[in-house]
Structure 1
Amino acid sequence: MKHTQDLGGTWNLRGIGVDLPAAVPGCVHTDLLAAGRIPDPFLDDNELAVAWVGRQDWTYSRDLTWDGPECDRVDLVFEGLDTVARIELDGTVVGSTRNMHRAYRFDITALLSAGSAGPAGSQSAGVGGSRALSVHFTSAYTEAERVRDLLGDRPNAYPEPFQFIRKMAASFGWDWGPTLVTAGIWRPVRLEGWSTARLATVRPLGTYDRESGKLDLTADVERTRDRALRARVLIDDREIAVLDIPAGETGVRTELDVPGVTPWNPIGYGDPQLYMLTVVLTAVDDDTELDRYQQLTGFRTVHIDRSPDETGTRFVVHVNDQPVLVKGVNWIPDDIFPSRMTRERYELRLRQAADAGVNLIRVWGGGLYEDRAFYELCDELGLLVWQDFLFACACYPEEEPIRSEVVAEARDNVTRLSPHPSLITWNGNNENLWLYEASGWNNEPGGDLTWGPGYYLDLLPAVVAELDPTRPYQAGSPWSGSWEHEPNSPDHQTMHSWEVWNREDYLNYRDTTPRFVAEFGWQAPPAWTTLRDAVSDEPLLPDSPGVLHHQKAEDGNGKLARGLEPHFPAPASTEAWHYLTQLNQVRAVRTGIEHWRSHWPHTGGTIVWQLNDLWPVTSWAAIDGAGRFKPLYFALRSVYAGRGLTIQPRDGGHVVAVLNDHASPWTGELRIEHRDAGGAVLAVSVTPVTTAARSVALTPIDEVEAAFVVATLGDARAFHFIGDPTPDAGLTVTAEVVPGGLDVRLHATGLARDILLQPDRIHPEAVVDQGFVTLLPGESTVLHVRAPVDLDAASIKSPWVVTDLASALQGNL
C-alpha cells in the first residue's frame, strides 16, 4: 500500500537580509507579510514598495525524515512550485523545475537510504536520519529575461516578460491587477513511499449515450518490480471491471459500458449526478493492494454546434443532446497570491456565481489551471467549465526551452482535469490569434518571430485529441474557426466585444448580434468600503493618486467619464461618481445581455468579463477584491434568471422579448403599460402569451407617446425609458431591527428610479439582498440587511446609505 507523509507546515525562508519562518504551501510575499517585513501591497501604492521581492532569489528549507515503513521507493512530490526551482537534499541536486503549472515527482530513495542502517545492498528506504531539504528559487524575472534574450523579444499587451516563462501571467500585472511577481512552494508537498507498482495516472472519460454511461479508462502504472498486476474498477462500490496488467506492461486502456447511471446535467437541466470512481491496483500473486485511486466523476456528452448557417457559423453548446443557453462569467484567479485560496473560499465564490444564475465559468488564460477543489465544486453545483490553456495577450515563442514545457504542462493538466464532468471545452488561448494582426504585433519588432499559432492550431488540439477526445477543442477566444474569416468576426463562432467600453457607448451593443459573446464588460469602482480601505487619500477623489493607482486600465477613468456623459450630468461629488459609475456598469451589462439573449439561439450565450477580482481595484468585476457584491452582481441574477422580460428595439419599433430558459412553456398574460414622467398610466394592453421551452417570443408594443413603458408577466417586469425622467421619488425609507440585522422598507409616492442601499456604509460586514431597485408610484419593497453584529436602525439615514437616482443627480443627500 502507498504511504504518504505531508511536508506542509513551517519551513524556513532565506533571502538577502531575510531569515524567517515560512508557511508551506505559501509564497514569499505572504511569508514576508506575516513577519511584518513588507507593507500591505493592497494599500495605496505599496505595490511599488514591494516590487523588489519579485526580483530576488529565495530559498525554502526544512529537515526531512521518512517516518513511514520500508518501501521500494520514496518519492518527493511537489504539486506546485512557483516557478524556477532547484531542489536539493543534503546538498545533492534532486531536480529542477521551470513551470508553475505542473506537478513534479523526484525519486529520493537512494539519498534517504545513504548512511542508514539496513540489509547489505538494500535499495529500499526505511526510517533513517534527518536530511536537509532545500528548494532554491530563481527570480521569475531572471528566467523570463534570460529566455527573452535567448529567443528574441516579442510583442505583448503589457510591458512585462510574462510570455517567456510558464507562470501565472497575471502575476506580472494586468489591466485589473497589480504586479506582484511571486515565488514559493504554492501547492502541497509530500513524501510518497510505495513498493512493486503505483498508479501513475488514471484518466477517466465519462460520457452518456441516451440510456447508459460509457467510461473510457486509462490507467498508467510505474513499477519497481516486474510482477503481474490487476486493476479493479468500481462505481459507487459496484465492481464494473477487472483489468489485467501483465508483467512488463506499463498500463491499460479500456472502454466500459456503465448501465444504470443517471447523466450529469448543468444547472437548470437536471441534477449534476456524480459517482465515486475507484481503481484498486493489486498484485496478482498475493492480491496485495498496492495503490488506490478515488475521484467523483460523472457521465455526460458535450459538443459545440459550429456548423454553418445562412448568416455565418453557429456556436451553441449542447450537453446530453440539449442546447444550452450559456449564461457565463469569466474567472480570474481569486487572489493575486493563489496559495491563499482554500476550498471554503472557492465554494463561497462559486456558490455566489450559481446563485446569480450563472451556468458557465470560463477559466481565463492569463491565470491558472485551478485547484482540484475548484473543479470538484463545479461538478457538484452543475456549473459548466470552459478551460483556457494558459496563453494570453502576447506572442509566445514556439522554440525550446518553452515548447517542451508547454507539451508537458498540457499533458499534465488534460490528464488531471479529465475526471470532471463540469469541464466541457478546452480553449487554446486568450486573444492571441486575434490581436496578432488587430493590434499590429505582426509589424512590431519581434513580430516576425514565432508567436504561438503552432501551439493553438497544431500542438494543443493534438494533445486533446489523444488524451481527451470527449471534449471539444477551440483554437482560441475569440476565434472564427479558420483564417478565412477575421478572428473576432461577429458572424462566426466566438467574439470579444471591446469596442464598446474602450471607444463606444454601451447602447452600441445593440448594433451586432454575434454568434457567441465570450468577453464583454464595463468598469465600475469597488464597494465604497473596499475603496476606502485600500486608498488613504484625503480628500478621496476619482482622480486622486491612490484611486488612480487602483485603476489599472489604460485611460480607465477617462473611459468611465466618457461612458457617463451620454446618460448623466457630471457627478457633483466623489460619492455621486461612485454611485453613477456603479449604475452605468449595471445598465451597460444589462443592455448587452438582454439584447443578445433576445436573439437566442442565433447568439448562443454570453460570458461577462468578469466575476471576481484579486485585489481592491476599479474593474469590470461583479464581486470586488474584498468579496463584496457590486450592484452588477444583483443585475446578473436578474438578467441570467431562467425567465425574464426585456424591451428591445426591432424594425423601427419596440417589442417585449419573453425569455424562457425553462424546460416547460411559459404561459400568462403580458401587461404593457405606457406611463408619463410622473408614473401615471396613459395606456394599457393585455395579451395572452405562450413561450415555448428554451425559447424567446416577441410581442410588438403599440407606439404611444409616453415617458416610459412597463411590461409585466407574472413576477417578471421590464422597463423602457423613452426619455430619462427623474422626478421627485417621494421616497420614504424606514428600518426595523430584526434578528441578524435590519429590514429596510422603501415606499415611493412618485417614480423612484434606481434606489441603491449600500450595506457596507452601515457596517463593513453587512450585506443586502438586492441591488438597484425601481419603484412605481405607490409601490413598496423590503430590503434585507444582515450583519454579524447588531445594527442601528438610524444608520440608514446616513448620507449615501440609501440613494435614488433623482437624489444623486440633484445632490439631495
Structure 2
Amino acid sequence: MLQATPLTEGWILRHEGEALPAVVPGCVHTDLLAAGVIPDPFLGLGEREVAWVGRREWTYETDLAPSDGHEQTDLVFDGLDTVAEIRLDGQLLGRTRNMHRSYRFDVTGMAGRLSVRFVSAYAEAEAVRGQLGERPGAYAEPYQYLRKMACSFGWDWGPTLVTAGIWRPVRIERWSTARIARVRPLVSVEQGVGVVELAVEVERARVEAPLTVEAVVGGVRARAAIDKASGAVRLEVPEARLWWPRGYGEQPLYEVELTLLHEDGPLDVWRRRIGFRTVELDRSADEHGTGFCLVVNGERIFARGVNWIPDDVFPSRITRERYRERLGQAAAAGVDLVRVWGGGIYESEDFYDACDESGLLVWQDFPFACAAYPEEQPLRGEVEAEARENVVRLMPHPSLVLWNGNNENLWGFRDWGWEGRLAGDSWGEGYYLGLLPRVVAELDPTRPYTAGSPWSGSWEHHPNDPAHGTHHSWEVWNRLDYAAYRSEVPRFVAEFGWQAPPAHATLRRALAGEELAADSPGMLHHQKAEDGNGKLRRGLERYFAFPEGDFDRWHYLTQVNQARAVAAGIEHWRSHWPVCAGTVVWQLNDCWPVTSWAAVDGDGREKPLYHELRRLYADRLLTVRGRVVAVVNQAGEEWAGVLRLRRMSVEGAVLGEAELGFRAGRRAVAEVPVPDELEPAGPKEFLVADADGLRALHFPSPDREIPYPRPEFDVTVAPGAVTVTARTLVRDLLLQADRLHPAARADRGLVTLLPGERVTIGVTGWETPDPDAARSALYCMEPAS
C-alpha cells in the first residue's frame, strides 16, 4: 500500500552563508519574520523595508533518509513558489517555474541533503521579458512573464511582497507495483440517477502486473480492469439527492472511494467528496441583448456574489479554519457565489470543501489578470500543464460551477491601448479562446466555460458591453458618482465597488503611534489605488460637507458612502431581474490592512458594507426605484402582503400615507407605483416603505442639503447589547464596536431610526458595558455646520 510521509521537520533557510529555521509549508518572508530578520511588512511603512527580499536567491535544505521495503520512492511537492532547482545529495532532480503546479521526482534508492534553491522571481520574469519582448499591463511589475500569483507583485489594494518558498505541502511517497496517478471524476444526473464516471490513470513499477480498480459511492460498488496505464469505472446512484446552492436547498455530499488492486490486495486509495447537480450557463440572445444566467438543477439563479482575492499576501499562512471563517462570513451575508479572481491562485482543497458544505457557488478564474500574456514557450507549456492539473484537481467539487479564462484582458486589448503597442505580438487571446476552452471541454465537459470577465461572448460586441454577457462597472468610482449605476441594466455585473478604510482598530494596530489623518504617511502608504484618496474625497463631496481635519468623521462618512454606493447598484440591478442575472461585489476580503473595496478588512473585521450586504442579499428586498417600489422576492415561495408608504418630514411628521397590496411570485419582482401625493418634495422630505419587517428609504436630496435635526437618542447597555431609542430622526446610526475594544463585534451596521423607534445592537467581545463608552462609539448623520 502506498505510504505518504510529510516532510515538515528539519528544514533550514540559507541565504548568503546564514542558516535560519524554516517552516514548511511556508515562504521566505514568514521565516524571516519568525527569525526577527525583517519587520512586519503589514505595519507602518514596513513593506518598503523588505522589498529586497523578492530580489534575492534563497535555498531550503533538509536531510532525506534512505528508504526501503518499496519498489519506488517519490519526492512530491504540492507547490513551489516559483522558479526553483531541486537537488538531492548534489544530484539535480529537476527545475520548476510554475507556482500553480505540483511536482514529482523519482528518488528511489537516494538519500542525503535535499536542497531547493529559489531564483528571484524578478530575475526569471525579466529574463522571459528579454526573450519574448515587452507586453503591456495595468502595472509596471513584470507579473505576466511567469506563472506566479500576480498580486504578490502588488495591486491597487495589495502590497508588493514578491514571495519565494515551498508554499504547499511536501512529502515522500513509497509504493510498489503501481499507484494511482490521476482520477478524473465526471459527475452528472440522468433522469434522477446520479452518475459517476471515474477515468483512472496509473503509474506502474511492474509493467505486466494485472490491476483492477474498485469504486464505491452511495452504497453502490463497481469494478473495472486497468489496461496498461488507464481504465474507467461507472457507478449509478438511484434517487441521488441533489446538491443545491445555499438558499435553494440542501448540500448533500457523497464520499467516493476508489481502490487500486493487485491480486485483490490494495495498492493505493483515492477519496473525494462529490455532489450531484447539473449546471448550465444560459447565454441566449433576447430583446435585451445576450444573457448570462447560471442555471443549477434547472433553477435559474440571480447570483448574489462577491469577488475573492487571496486572503493573505502570504498564502501559506491561510489555514483551514481561516478559510471557513471568511467563507462563513460570506454565507452569513447572504452571498451564494464567490468568484476566485484571476490575479490570485487556485485555492487549496480547504477553500472548495468549505464552499461545498455551505452551498457557495464558485466561479473560478484561470490565473490571468490585467495584462497581455505571451503565448510562446516557456509560458505556453506551463499554462497548459497547470490548467490540466487544476481542472482535474477541482472537478470533484460540486460548488465549482464556472471556469473563466481571465480577468479584464480581452477588455484591456480593446480599450487600454494594447493593440497598437503589441503590433501583432501574442497577448493571451490564444489561451482564452483556444487552449483553455479546449482543455475544459476535454477534461471537464460538465461545467461551462467563459473566455473572460468582462466578455460579451464574441468580438462582434465590445468586450465590456453591458447588454451582452458580463460587465465590469468601473466608470463609477473612477470617474462617476454611484448614482450612475441606475442609468443602465447590465446582464451580469461581475465587478463593481467603492472604497472605504478598514476598521478603526485595524488602523490602530497597523499604524501604531501615528496620528491618524486621511493623508497621514501610514494612511497614504496603505492606500494603493491611483488617486484613491482623491476619489474618496470627490465621492464624499457630492453628498456631504467634507470634514476637514476631523479623521473620525471622515472615517465614518467614507464607510457610509461605501455602503450606499454598493446598495445603489445592487438594489437597482436586483430589481431588474431577470434581465440582470447577478452582481458580484468587488470585493469580499483583504490580504493586509488597507483602504480598499473590501467588505471584510485585512484583520477580518466587518465594515458597514458587510452588514449592508446582509440586507441587500437577503431573499426579500424592498427598494424605491424612481416612482415605484420594487418588491424583490428571491425566495422559493410567493410573497404577498401590504406595503405601507409614508411621506415624512425630517422633523418626524407624517405628511401622507397609504397601504397598498402587492404580490411577488417565487423568484420574481413586483412593482408598486408610488401615489403622486406621496412623492417627497424637496430636501426636507423623504419616503418610507415598509412591508413584513423590511424597509426602504428614499431621500431625494444629498445629505449636505438636508436640514437634519440635531440627533437625539437614549442609550442603554446590558451584557452583549446596546439599545438606542431615537427621539428624532437618526439616519445611518453606526456603532463602531471595535472602538469599545479591539475584540468587540457588532451584529449590525448602519440603521436609520424614525422618532420613537428603537434598535438593539448585539455586541460580543466587550466585557465591561459602559453607556458613556457606547455613546462615544455611536456615529450618525448630523446637521451641516
Read off the aligned partner of 1:762 and give its amino acid letter: L
- On the 8 A contact 1:537/1:546 being kept in 2, the answer is no
Q: Tell whether 2:672 aligns with 1:695.
A: no
Q: Tell whether 2:243 aligns with 1:261.
A: no
d(CA) in 2 for partners of 1:78, 1:726: 65
Deviation at 1:743, TM superposition (A): 1.2
Read off the aligned partner of 2:359 and give its amino acid letter: G
1:713 corresponds in structure 2 to 691
Q: What whole-Å deviation, never above 9, does each CA across 1:698-745 have from its counterpart, x for those lacking one?
A: 01101235311111110111101123435235432424332xxx3111
- For 1:534-549, what aligned pairs fall within 5 Å after superposition? 534-536=510-512, 538-549=514-525
d(CA) in 2 for partners of 1:95, 1:290: 27
- For 1:84-103, what aligned pairs fall within 5 Å after superposition? 84-103=83-102
d(CA) in 2 for partners of 1:502, 1:49: 30
- For 1:405-416, what aligned pairs fall within 5 Å after superposition? 405-416=382-393
Q: What whole-Å deviation, never above 9, does each CA across 1:396-450 have from its counterpart, x for those lacking one?
A: 0000000000000000000100000000010000000001121111223x45311
For residue 663 of structure 1, the aligned residue among 617, 629, 636 is: 636
Q: Tell whether 2:713 aligns with 1:737.
A: no
1:115 corresponds in structure 2 to none
- For 1:768-807, what aligned pairs fall within 5 Å after superposition? 768-787=746-765, 789-798=767-776, 801-806=777-782
Deviation at 1:619, TM superposition (A): 0.3
1:33 corresponds in structure 2 to 33
Report how many aligned residue pairs link the two structures. 775
2:563 corresponds in structure 1 to 586
Between the aligned residues of both structures, percent identity stands at 56
Deviates most, 77-86 or 668-677: 668-677
Deviation at 1:66, TM superposition (A): 4.6
For residue 508 of structure 1, the aligned residue among 472, 484, 500 is: 484
Deviates most, 725-734 or 337-346: 725-734
Read off the aligned partner of 2:21 and give its amino acid letter: P
d(CA) in 2 for partners of 1:17, 1:299: 55
Read off the aligned partner of 1:12 and give its amino acid letter: I
Q: Specify the SS of the correspondent of 2:380.
A: helix
1:178 corresponds in structure 2 to 159
Read off the aligned partner of 1:87 and give its amino acid letter: I
d(CA) in 1 for partners of 2:358, 2:405: 25
Q: What whole-Å deviation, never above 9, does each CA across 1:235-258 have from its counterpart, x for those lacking one?
A: 14x233111113xx2112344432
d(CA) in 1 for partners of 2:160, 2:328: 29
2:659 corresponds in structure 1 to 686
Q: Specify the SS of the correspondent of 2:441.
A: helix
- On the 8 A contact 1:729/1:753 being kept in 2, the answer is no
Deviates most, 38-47 or 692-701: 38-47
- For 1:5-44, what aligned pairs fall within 5 Å after superposition? 5-16=5-16, 18-44=18-44
- For 1:322-401, what aligned pairs fall within 5 Å after superposition? 322-401=299-378
Q: Specify the SS of the correspondent of 2:629.
A: strand
Deviation at 1:565, TM superposition (A): 1.4
Read off the aligned partner of 1:146 and give its amino acid letter: A
2:70 corresponds in structure 1 to 71
d(CA) in 2 for partners of 1:211, 1:680: 59
- For 1:31-430, what aligned pairs fall within 5 Å after superposition? 31-66=31-66, 70-112=69-111, 131-225=112-206, 226-236=208-218, 238-246=219-227, 249-283=228-262, 286-430=263-407
- On the 8 A contact 2:503/2:601 being kept in 1, the answer is yes
d(CA) in 2 for partners of 1:329, 1:569: 31
Q: Which runs of 5+ in 1 are unaligned?
A: 113-130
Read off the aligned partner of 2:94 and give its amino acid letter: G
- On the 8 A contact 1:494/1:518 being kept in 2, the answer is yes
Q: What whole-Å deviation, never above 9, does each CA across 1:576-614 have from its counterpart, x for those lacking one?
A: 111111100000000000000000010011000000000
- On the 8 A contact 2:274/2:397 being kept in 1, the answer is yes
d(CA) in 1 for partners of 2:172, 2:96: 18
d(CA) in 2 for partners of 1:530, 1:38: 21
Q: What whole-Å deviation, never above 9, does each CA across 1:538-561 have from its counterpart, x for those lacking one?
A: 432111221111000011111111
Q: What whole-Å deviation, never above 9, does each CA across 1:204-242 have from its counterpart, x for those lacking one?
A: 121223411122321111111121111111014x23311
Q: What whole-Å deviation, never above 9, does each CA across 1:279-317 have from its counterpart, x for those lacking one?
A: 01101xx21100001111111110010010012101111
How does the TM-score come out when normalised to structure 1?
0.94
1:676 corresponds in structure 2 to 649
d(CA) in 1 for partners of 2:515, 2:357: 47
Q: Specify the SS of the correspondent of 1:619.
A: coil
Read off the aligned partner of 1:41 and give its amino acid letter: P
d(CA) in 2 for partners of 1:459, 1:156: 21
- On the 8 A contact 2:633/2:667 being kept in 1, the answer is yes
Read off the aligned partner of 1:147 and give its amino acid letter: V
Deviation at 1:337, TM superposition (A): 0.3
- On the 8 A contact 1:536/1:546 being kept in 2, the answer is no
Q: What whole-Å deviation, never above 9, does each CA across 1:9-29 have from its counterpart, x for those lacking one?
A: 341001126421010000000
Read off the aligned partner of 1:14 and give its amino acid letter: R
Q: Which runs of 5+ in 2 are unaligned?
A: none
1:118 corresponds in structure 2 to none
Change (3 A) 1:10 1:624: farther
- On the 8 A contact 1:315/1:516 being kept in 2, the answer is yes
- For 1:622-641, what aligned pairs fall within 5 Å after superposition? 622-641=599-618
Read off the aligned partner of 1:228 and give its amino acid letter: P
Q: What whole-Å deviation, never above 9, does each CA across 1:173-223 have from its counterpart, x for those lacking one?
A: 000000000000000000000111111111112122341112232111111
Q: Tell whether 2:460 aligns with 1:478.
A: no
d(CA) in 1 for partners of 2:454, 2:376: 24
1:127 corresponds in structure 2 to none
Change (3 A) 1:10 1:622: farther
Change (3 A) 1:82 1:96: same
Q: Specify the SS of the correspondent of 2:436.
A: helix
RMSD over aligned Cα, in angstroms?
Answer: 1.3
d(CA) in 1 for partners of 2:618, 2:458: 34
Read off the aligned partner of 1:327 and give its amino acid letter: R
d(CA) in 2 for partners of 1:357, 1:673: 28
Deviates most, 561-570 or 342-351: 561-570
d(CA) in 2 for partners of 1:527, 1:208: 46
- On the 8 A contact 1:6/1:190 being kept in 2, the answer is yes
d(CA) in 2 for partners of 1:785, 1:354: 20
1:571 corresponds in structure 2 to 547
Deviation at 1:95, TM superposition (A): 1.3
Deviation at 1:792, TM superposition (A): 4.0
d(CA) in 1 for partners of 2:144, 2:431: 13
Q: What whole-Å deviation, never above 9, does each CA across 1:92-118 have from its counterpart, x for those lacking one?
A: 111111000001111100324xxxxxx
Read off the aligned partner of 1:571 and give its amino acid letter: P
Read off the aligned partner of 1:85 and give its amino acid letter: A
Read off the aligned partner of 1:493 and give its amino acid letter: G
Change (3 A) 1:644 1:729: farther
d(CA) in 1 for partners of 2:139, 2:193: 49
- On the 8 A contact 2:259/2:270 being kept in 1, the answer is yes
Q: What whole-Å deviation, never above 9, does each CA across 1:128-183 have from its counterpart, x for those lacking one?
A: xxx21111100100100000101001100001000001000000000000000000
Q: Specify the SS of the correspondent of 1:443.
A: helix
Deviation at 1:680, TM superposition (A): 1.4
Read off the aligned partner of 1:212 and give its amino acid letter: V
Q: Tell whether 2:578 aligns with 1:614.
A: no
d(CA) in 2 for partners of 1:679, 1:64: 77
